[in-house]
């Protein structure tokens, strides 16, 4: 199922607000909060059979202290690939918020006093604040620090896709993905370079990197759809192995 086409344009605008400073005094309204909840229900999941929901709470109701106005708590039932699924949904939410001039930050290590909600388990949160000037979002995406194309894409490049997907956000900017383009297929792997984990606790690397893979697949789908590339996707179960490369998806280009 195709996602909202307007989300693609927000890829070029979004940035992670690691601190919400000098963003103005505009507040996210009650109406905007309700609209966010309504929009979440329209987003396309990777796995329709996995139940998820969100709860929006005030900044002081979590351990996130980045100057945000609110935090969106993402909850899910625990099934195979539920982490990829929440990343995929959460990134659509992230891009939607950017379209409303709301700055965001995926905050992986944040905790809440509500580990469960509506029978679902807390997974991760997104901090957010209203931004008073669009100029405070990203001016030139290509100046942001990312792995080179050669590090994340092997084989023939796809114009409008290969050079854009590498800007997907990830925990501690680990960018744990590799795409192999062979014939008419894209093989997408969760990739962990031996000995590399950034600043994340060792026991959390795989957990957050699986969420990252869902975020990356969201970017990949948006880019393929924007460039009018027709495709079929086969998803694979990622059991959280510590292996260097774990297949997450196969895209057959039609």
> What domains can be seen in the chain, in order of their start residue?
6-136 (3.40.109.10), 145-253 (3.40.109.30)
Query: Is the pLDDT assigned to residue 172 strictly greater than 90?
Result: no
**Percent helix, strand and coil across the chain, each to the nearest 5:** 30, 25, 40
Query: Is the pLDDT assigned to residue 73 strictly greater than 80?
Result: yes
Q: How far apart are CA 124 and CA 87, in angstroms?
A: 9
Torsion 124-15-128-92 (CA) sign: negative
Torsion 186-189-194-199 (CA) sign: positive
In which band, very low, low, confident or very high, does the pLDDT at 146 lie, cut at 50, 70 and 90? confident
Over residues 118-141, the mean pLDDT reads: 93
The set of residues, in sequence order, having a beta carbon less than 8 Å from that of 212 and lying 6+ positions away, is 87, 168, 169, 170, 171, 174, 175, 176, 177, 190
User: Residue 81, Cβ neighbours under 10 Å: how many?
Assistant: 21
Query: Is the pLDDT assigned to residue 223 strictly greater than 60?
Result: yes
The model's pLDDT over 180-217, given as tens digits with 9 standing for 90+, comes to 999 999 999 999 877 665 667 778 889 999 999 999 99
**Using alpha carbons only, what angle is made at residue 79 by residues 75 and 81, rounded to the nearest 5 degrees?**
90
Per the structure block, which two tokens stand in for 85? 């699924």
| DSSP β-bridge partners for residue 189 | 178, 247
How far is CA 57 from each of CA 28, 69, 101, 121, 131, rounded to the nearest angstrom?
12, 9, 19, 16, 18
How far is CA 80 from each of CA 99, 115, 248, rounded to the nearest angstrom?
31, 19, 12
Quote the distance between the C-alpha of residue 28 and its chain's center: 21
Q: How far apart are CA 12 and CA 231, in angstroms?
A: 23
In which band, very low, low, confident or very high, does the pLDDT at 10 lie, cut at 50, 70 and 90? very high
């Amino acid at each position: 199922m195709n996602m909202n086409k307007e989300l693609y344009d927000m890829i070029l605008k979004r940035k992670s607000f690691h601190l919400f400073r000098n963003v103005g005094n505009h507040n996210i309204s009650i109406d905007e909060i309700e609209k966010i909840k309504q929009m979440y229900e329209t987003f396309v999941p990777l796995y329709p059979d996995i139940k998820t929901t969100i709860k929006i709470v005030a900044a002081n109701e979590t351990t996130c202290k980045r100057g945000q106005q609110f935090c969106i708590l993402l909850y899910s039932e625990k099934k195979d690939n539920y982490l990829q699924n929440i990343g995929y949904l959460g990134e659509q939410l992230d891009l939607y918020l950017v379209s409303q001039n709301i700055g965001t930050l995926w905050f992986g290590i944040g905790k809440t006093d509500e580990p469960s909600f509506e029978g679902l388990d807390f997974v991760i949160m997104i901090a957010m604040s209203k931004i008073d000037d669009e100029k405070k979002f990203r001016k030139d995406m290509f100046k942001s620090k990312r792995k080179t194309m050669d590090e994340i894409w092997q084989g023939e490049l796809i114009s409008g896709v290969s050079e854009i997907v590498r800007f997907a956000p990830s925990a501690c900017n680990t960018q744990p993905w590799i795409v192999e383009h062979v014939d008419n297929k894209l093989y997408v792997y969760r990739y962990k370079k031996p000995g590399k984990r950034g600043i994340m606790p060792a026991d959390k690397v795989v957990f957050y990197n699986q969420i990252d893979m869902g975020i990356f697949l969201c970017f990949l789908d948006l880019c393929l759809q924007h460039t009018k590339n027709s495709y079929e996707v086969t998803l694979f179960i990622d059991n959280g192995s510590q292996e260097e490369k774990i297949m997450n998806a196969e895209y057959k280009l039609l």
